[in-house]
Chains A and B, each alone.
Chain A
Amino acid sequence: MVALDGLRVIDLTDQQGAFCGKLLADLGAEVIKVESPKGCPSRSYPPFVKDSRNGKESIPFLANNINKLGITLDLTNHQGQEVFLKLVAQSDLVIESFMPGKLAEINLDYHRLSKVKPDLILTSITPFGQSGPYRDYQACDLVALALSGFLFIIGDSDRPSVRLSIEQAFAYGSLHGAIGSLMALRFRDISGCGNHVDVSIQEALVLTIPVELAFYEAENDIARRSGPRKRRGHVYCRDVWPCKDGQIGWRLLGGKMGAGPMNKLVKWMDQEDMAGTLKKVNWLEVDMNKVSQAELDGWTEQLENFFITHSKEEIYERALKDRILMSPAYNAKELLEYTQLIERDFWKTVDHPELGRQILYPGPFGKLSGTPIKDPQRAPHLGEHNRDVYVKLLGLTDDELENLIKGKII
């Protein structure tokens, strides 16, 4: 049993909105990715799979198009549009991420689509939304992060802002595209009414900085980059601590919540004669809102000196035992080896016959007891499901399909 049983989605997106269809497919919707006969531009987005046949199998494409069917269709061609509208008539939802106005240009905007299917939902995921002064602005990941306030506060204070090394903006916007699509579907189910859902990636990303927004509202304070030291009220303290073989994530806390674990940590440090002045602190009375930066820097130095003598696994093991809220910073390899994820059966094997092997993929994003999330299936090859969709679903004859292929419409 899947959550979105019987739901048909047409996915017209490039990399900007591809993750939205992936999420709906995870929930069991039938998601048909429609590409131009030349292929979606995101297929040529590096990095590539090393030993793939043509050397051009895009990893981001594989990631964002899991569990989808793939067909080709020329939407700029009159005959192609006719076929497309037939498909729309049998679908619930269309997702797109063209520049605003592009669908109207080829006469496939919401108005036209809803004539074919009055209760259709069209979800548009774009950098800034369908209207407004930035509507026609170009945005890549970095630019969307910049304009949302997310980028300004990340990085070292003596260098420009730095983004995450894996694109975030489009996936973040696509999450909201999926929520908006599902909200509109439910609204359709209770009201009979279709919808055009308009998601702005910039606006979605503003939701990543509620803390910074709050500090500005309260005190006109403008948060700045501060490296691995992050703002704690009015002082800066590490969230990320270097250790012998990497880093750990941990937030120093005093008071009722922090004193217990802090005392245990200091005890451990003391066993190794490294507790220094930390031993004399009454952690129950430490209020992080009142600590001075100088005092905090003094503690930080001693903690840094201690952590650097231990590996992250040593620290994690001890943290688990003493219930100190500390975790290692893992990379992809370590995540693949992490017991918790193995025990929860997180990794799933996906067949890649073209590579002649099976590949591990991240599995369900959540465990739903009644409608489990679908195990991942490889992203479709170009036009892989043409016959299934055009012949079996739309009822085209083999000759009709042949003609469309000859006419380079499919």
Chain B
Amino acid sequence: MSRLTNQTNSFPISDIKVLDLSWGVVGPYITKMMGNFGAKVIKLESIHSPEILRRATPYKDNKPGLNRAFIFAMINTDKLSISVNLHTSRGVEICRRLMCWADVVICNFIGDRLDKMGLSYKKISADNPKLIMVDTTSQGLTGPYAKHPGYGYQAVALSGFTNLTGWPDREAVGPVGAYTDMIAPWFIAVAVMGALIHRDKTGNGQFIDLSQQESSMHMLTPALLQYTLNGEVMNKRGNKDDVAVPHNVYPCKGEERWCALGIFNESQWDALGEVMEKPSWFGRDIYSTPTKRRAHERELDDLIGGWSSEYEAEELMKKLQKAGIPAGVVKNVKDVFEDPQLAYRGHFQVIEHPELGSYRASKTPIRMLNCSNKPMCRAPLLGEHTEPICREILGMTDKELAQLINEGVLE
């Protein structure tokens, strides 16, 4: 169990112990990131109500199983798993002791679930005043809607993203799945790191109430200020940009191959003309200034689309980039796995797993010159580390362990 006891300072937070009581994407994504920077992370879960992502498709060979779910495996690297039945008082006691062991606790309970178990921040911090505890929910822990449970799919609508994604003449489509689930974790990580740096100096822990709606809305501040400053309510507007024109996604050779590009200034416009070998329409007066181009954006998109279709997306991106024009292949997930830049940075790490075989998981996008990222360890099997955690951290004897397993407190 060197993973539990190893105390080195080769990573920014290798001395930090994290207890993860959370479910789904938001909490586990933060603790994954903390693990990537060296923290020791224990995920407390239960076989009776297993974490939602252990029950989410896709499974290995399409065969359901709590240790066979890929999304879970990807965002739960670098964690140890203890399986405890929290419906027993001794299970709750184990959770309490781990909360006292931890520097950071991450959870996403709504309502008074923790209070009822006697595990509120107020109680625990009396024994562990250095604790930094985060409870992250859809709409925060106070206010009239605090108890309304919510998934990311709702938070996306509630935070204003849905209305701002789509074509003006069509129904709004909303962004990638539960987008706020992929935003909130990083705001929480910023808050936790701030709190840790403060604690290093003062010895004081604290409690963080993080509303996924409130934090995610900060990704839309310009739209909010456009209303409070100018009284204008923004709406979805396709790929239109405030500066660039043309600015869109254009078809390329092959099925579902596309290249995105934006023209932000006159020198890029001239460069585009060069790359396109100055077609006859290029010099027309109606395209001679950004304002005129804006007025004829649609025709311009069609003309560029007709031209781009003659090229492979990759080839077109290189040609445009060479001319100094921001352009990129609209990569599908396969392209992303094969992307040369991500490969150069070592973004994906191949990880061996007893039930999944090998799989690739994402690293943090942060590299540091004077301390490397920790190589990732595979996601744990459910309850894989129950025994070593009980022995090494909670100091249990064989007899105690056997009894707790017998009584169904440990699973």
Contact = CB atoms under 8 A, between A and B. Distances in A.
A210 B195 contact: no
A60 B74 contact: no
Contacts of A247: 157, 162-163, 171-172
A328 B158 contact: yes
Contact of B365 (A140, A206, A209, A367): A206
Given A128-B341, A343-B142, A368 B191 contact: yes
A319 B75 CA distance: 31
Contacts of A361: 221, 224-225, 228
Interface in A1-29: 1, 3-5, 23, 27-28
A155 B173 contact: yes
Nearest to B188: A366
The CB with the most chain A CB atoms within 10 A, among B258, B324, B360, B370, is that of B370
A183 B367 CA distance: 11
B70 A332 contact: no
Nearest to B230: A50
Contact of A367 (B210, B324, B327): B210
Contacts of A154: 165, 173, 175-176
Contacts of A218: 58-60, 62, 70
B227 A336 contact: yes
Given A218-B58, A328-B157, A331-B163, A213 B336 contact: yes
A140 B217 CA distance: 21
12 contacts: A50-B230, A148-B336, A154-B175, A162-B239, A186-B193, A187-B371, A202-B341, A208-B179, A213-B333, A247-B171, A363-B214, A370-B204
A64 to B, nearest CB: 8
A113 to B, nearest CB: 12
Given A149-B336, A186-B193, A367-B208, A251 B329 contact: no
A313 to B, nearest CB: 13
Chain B contact-residue range equals 35 or more
Contacts of B146: 340
A139 interface: yes
A27 B347 CA distance: 29
B58 A142 contact: no
Given A196-B368, A198-B368, 13 more contacts: A164-B164, A183-B366, A195-B370, A206-B365, A212-B176, A247-B163, A249-B153, A289-B64, A325-B150, A332-B226, A340-B144, A340-B145, A366-B210
A63 B324 contact: no
A344 B341 CA distance: 43
A239 B153 contact: yes
A49 B229 contact: yes
A202 B342 contact: yes
B6 interface: no
A276 interface: no
The CB with the most chain B CB atoms within 10 A, among A189, A249, A323, is that of A249
B274 interface: no
B283 interface: no
Contacts of B197: 3-4, 182, 185-186, 189
A331 B336 contact: no
Contacts of B60: 218
Contact of A197 (B160, B239, B244, B368): B368
Contact of A217 (B172, B173, B207, B360): B360
Nearest to B154: A327
Contact of B174 (A147, A220, A228): A228
Contacts of B25: 210
Contacts of B362: 206-207, 210, 213
A326 B155 CA distance: 9
A234 B345 contact: no
Contacts of A240: 157, 162, 171-174
Given A239-B153, A332-B224, A175 B340 contact: no
Contact of A153 (B29, B176, B238): B176
A277 interface: no
Contact of A175 (B75, B177, B187): B187
B34 to A, nearest CB: 9
B302 interface: no
